[in-house]
Amino acid sequence: MAIISKFTIITIATLVTLVSTAPIDSKAATTIVKAETPSSTTTTSTRHTTATLIPEVEKQNIVSIEGSSSSSSSSSSVFSGRGTWFTDTFGSCGIAFDTNDMIVAMNAHQMDGTSKCGKTVKITLGDKSVMARVTDTCPGQFCSWGSLDLSQAVFKKLAPLSQGVINIKWEFILK
């Protein structure tokens, strides 16, 4: 008779929900159960590790952690995340700028290399909105999905610089 001395359950479906924007098909989701069991009931210390795949029985919907998107009436996505401000003068798009320019650095997760360079975004905080141009990338360790690093000029249109971090919503504006 095998004795389970410890076990760990890892749900793959949970990992997928962090990046998915659609419900997960219950057939695709599996749970890995890893059990460590003695190889015999004698006094030897040899052990075997076994893994068993068990299908999930329920669908799991997405859970947003930080920065989310939702559809608006114009069929463009509205993103939400942290808004911070910066003082750099040259960005990843190869464009020089200063703190008075209406520009933003997009989080690296959504920047997609330089494909968002020059795009216009509308940033909203409460009843205040401002337009800005994407000219830089905010590294992933500083800006999570949905977050933007704003020039001082953009940040000041929404809140005082002393606030430091604001919770914003933003969307791409087609021109």
CATH code for the domain of 152: 2.40.40.10
Mean pLDDT, range 98-114, rounded to an integer: 93
Beta bridge partners of 48: 37
Residues 49 and 116 occupy one common structural domain: no
- Whether 63 maps to a domain, the answer reads no
Instruction: Count the Cβ atoms, other than its own, within 10 Å of residue 129.
Output: 13
Compute CA distances 174 → 45, 61, 74, 122, 163, whole Å. 66, 30, 11, 10, 30
The model carries a pTM of 0.57
Count up the domains in the chain and report the number: 2
Residues 109 and 78 occupy one common structural domain: yes
- Whether 44 maps to a domain, the answer reads yes
The more confidently predicted of residues 127 and 87 is 127
Mean pLDDT, range 38-52, rounded to an integer: 39
Residues 79 and 13 occupy one common structural domain: no
Residues 49 and 73 occupy one common structural domain: no
Range of the domain at 31: 6-55
Residues 48 and 76 occupy one common structural domain: no
Residue 109 has pLDDT above 80, yes or no: yes
The residues, any chain, with a CB within 8 Å of residue 63's CB and separated by 6 or more, are 17, 18
- Whether 1 maps to a domain, the answer reads no
The residues, any chain, with a CB within 8 Å of residue 20's CB and separated by 6 or more, are 62
Q: What pLDDT was estimated at residue 99? A: 86
- Whether 85 maps to a domain, the answer reads yes
Residues 45 and 74 occupy one common structural domain: no
Residues 77 and 120 occupy one common structural domain: yes
Please tell me the distance from the alpha carbon of residue 62 to that of residue 4, in angstroms, as a whole number.
Answer: 33
Instruction: Count the Cβ atoms, other than its own, within 10 Å of residue 134.
Output: 25
The more confidently predicted of residues 68 and 95 is 95
What percent of the chain stands above pLDDT 90? 47
Residue 111 has pLDDT above 60, yes or no: yes
